[in-house]
Amino acid sequence: MKNAEMILCPCQNTPKRKRLIAMKSNKKPSRTIYAVTILLALSASLLPSVAQIPWATEPFSRQGKSEVYGIGQYLHSENISFNGPRGSIDTKMDDTGLGGFGFAWHFSDFFSIHTDFMFGSATFSGQTPLENSPGTTQFKQDAFIQTGRFNVDYNIINRRLTPYITAGIGYQYLETELENTYGTACYWDPWYGYVCYSGHYSAWETDFTWNVGAGVRWNITDNLIVKAMVGANWLEYSSAHGVTTQIEGVFSIGWTF
């Protein structure tokens, strides 16, 4: 009997073991189903927000709407030709980026007015003549730039996504400081004139500007708008010879109400 019991005991335990194995094997499918259920629920919750974005070709009335937006601007300038004591002095402005904000109001489906204000810094460099010798010296200095513009836009079509053209006038305020001179000799600086000793120099000026541009405007929803534009600005620095051209790329994102 003992031998029989010993033989039967493993057999009695076999169903339990099978049940335990089955219970363990059922855990993985249940976790997988649970994960899939969560993903389906998340996908279902996102579908309404995706469905709320209208087609870009949908008609859209802008008349009477206002906009507030943030701006990022890439700015490139051609060399500035200053009237130096011995002729023209070419000064380079390094490419720079400005940031700011703007406001717009649409007085029809096709026409709007907007004003932008941008802030940033720029670096100027060049070769400038010495005062009492025929040589030149290299100068390099940083400046703070603040710009403003007042433009009229024309939207080509009354769709959510439309190309547009723009033109307007504005100003550029420039402020630069020179902490130290280069060497001991006097040299000519485009903003300070002759600099002959170490010290703290400050100069500033505000210049009239005018601009044109073209880009695209997309009212993604009734309240969200993005704009991208390329354009050109022109201005004449107070001590410069002729007009300086600036090329810009502008991206804006904001709120329509």
* For the chain, domain boundaries: 66-256
Instruction: Identify which has the larger pLDDT, 13 or 141.
Output: 141
**Residue 57 C-beta-side C-alpha neighbours within 13 Å:** 0
Task: Give strand pairing partners of 204.
Answer: 175
Task: Give strand pairing partners of 208.
Answer: 171
Query: Which amino acid, 244?
Result: T
pLDDT 10s digits, 231-245: 999 999 988 888 999
Given this model, what pLDDT does residue 93 score? 92
pLDDT at 5 over 50: no
Asked whether 80 and 190 are in contact (CB, 8 A), the reply is yes
Given this model, what pLDDT does residue 126 score? 82
pLDDT at 197 over 90: no
Given this model, what pLDDT does residue 169 score? 98
The CATH code that applies to domain 66-256 is: 2.40.160.20
Given this model, what pLDDT does residue 36 score? 61
**What whole-number distance in Å separates Cα of residue 68 and Cα of residue 100?**
11
Mean pLDDT across the chain: 81
- Residue 109: phi and psi, rounded to 5, are -70, -20
pTM, rounded to two decimals = 0.72
> CA dihedral in degrees (47, 163, 152, 209; nearest 10)?
110
pLDDT 10s digits, 159-191: 999 999 999 999 999 998 765 555 555 767 777
